[in-house]
Amino acid sequence: MKKTILTAGLLGFGATKTLQYSSENYPEETHRYFWSKIVNKYYNGSPKNCTHKNFDKVHYLASKIMKYRLFPKVQVDDLEVDLSIKYGEYTFKNPLGSAAGIDKASVMIDGLSNLGFGFVEVGDLSLEPEKWTEKPAYIDCYQKGIIERKSVIWKNVYYNSGIQVAVANMWNRQNKILDKKFTPISDTLVGLTIVPSKTTIDSIPYLIKSDYEQCIEVIVEFSDYIVINITERDKSKRKVAALLREENELRKLIKMVRNKLIMTLGKVAALEYSKIDPQSSQNEVIDISQEVRKVIYRNSLISKNNVPLIFLKVDSYLSEEEYKTIAKICEEEHVDGIVVGSTVPINVGLKDKSQRIFKEEVALGGAGGEITQKYSNSALKTLYTLTKGNKLLISNGGISTGKDMYERMSNGANLVQIYSALFLRGPYAAKYILEEFSQILKNNNETAQSIIGKNSKV
């Protein structure tokens, strides 16, 4: 037994050192070559290979590597340009984050931070676990493969272990931090994305808002920001998403979420206040907000001790009227920001029928990668104009290079996220993108903060 453990340890140490040497000494082309072999083995060719079992294999392996931080930490702090983004009391060390969907159980936060991301978004999280459907989960069915095509087909991959599992993992991580078993990267911000469970949507849709409310109560102490996701994640949820975009319904949802946030923080503050010695505070005016900050700072897994921001996540292919409604409500209900862009319905971007993968639009999933760029850019410019640049905008969809990132921020994004790029460029995608982005800023003598919205009208 001891021999087996020793052998495994030596192999793990050797693999880690190999990865570190590889990341420092081999060019991106080499990494992409080996990465493409892995991805194409599991996700291309015959559709029968594109199943959720194969996806699970790679995702499980990636989650373990990230959880135990086996990928060497990359250096993105010495790029000679100011990449920081400030918004209110928050400072993002760089504007590139990992999108929801990569870490669905709060186990990859530190691993993703080590890869260079400025912030990590966990989710989507629902009250109840969402399992795979019985149908295959096609990841990509283009003949050329996803590496060459620069787009990914995600089908039937909207699953998660449930919000309780994610919170349990957060507490476990926090205990390790308190026991000084490891030190996290202190300036990486963490967001949590919440959605209603499939059971609620299918069986008791009138309780959808209650799902969001209950999620808030569970996660309020664990996040720098909370994302209310009302996107059309698949065909079965489009009717629900459309309902939530109606002005009255959306306003009710946001008010309910904000009230629950305030109530939960109030309970936290009251608990902390009850611990104060009455004699020592008899002649003092107690700032309750400071008590909230103390508890959040002590109990949370996040890097800052500020009250969480509230964001709304919307699709990138809505009508201008829908965006006007969203912008108006976000302003009036004091929503801090908007996450815009996600996958698009698989056949939306393929006008030529000969290019279509499926004869009809599939029930679940969507297309990600380069195919979503025009939708994300258009929606971003519209929302930047409608919000007059006063809301924090996070954009994702089709970002895989530093040039893409520069364009997106110039169109109004304060922050950007990637997902498909990790499959297209490999695990060091964040490093490559930030290096390319920094070089553009350096050539133009600019900072990340200074380019936000320069190509959009206010």
| Per-domain residue ranges of the chain | 26-257+295-451
On whether the pTM is more than 0.85, the answer is: no
Euclidean distance between CA atoms 36 and 422, whole angstroms: 11
CB of 151 closer than 8 Å to CB of 76: no
pLDDT at 456: 87
Extract the residue ranges of the chain whose pLDDT is less than 50.
1-18, 20-24, 44-50, 52, 134-148, 280-283, 285-286, 298-304, 349-363
For 76-120, how does the pLDDT look when each residue is reduced to its tens digit (9 = 90+)?
A: 777 789 999 999 888 899 999 999 988 988 889 888 988 999 999
CB of 245 closer than 8 Å to CB of 325: yes
| SS3 assignment, position 373 | helix
pLDDT at 39: 55
pLDDT at 152: 65
In CATH terms, is domain 26-257+295-451 a member of 3.20.20.70?
Answer: yes
The rounded Cα 410 to chain-centroid distance in angstroms is: 21
Q: What is the longest distance spanned by two Cα atoms in the chain?
A: 79
Euclidean distance between CA atoms 430 and 341, whole angstroms: 19
pLDDT at 409: 97
The rounded Cα 175 to chain-centroid distance in angstroms is: 24
pLDDT at 449: 96
Which DSSP state fits 234? Answer: B
Here the tokens at position 280 are: 């020592």
**336: CB partners within 8 A, 6+ apart:** 87, 88, 225, 309, 310, 311, 391, 392
3-state percent breakdown (helix, strand, coil) of the chain, nearest 5 = 50, 15, 35
Euclidean distance between CA atoms 178 and 182, whole angstroms: 9
pLDDT at 268: 62
Q: Is 8 exposed, middle or buried (0-12, 13-18, 19+ CB in 10 A)?
A: exposed
Residue 425 CB coordination number (10 Å): 23
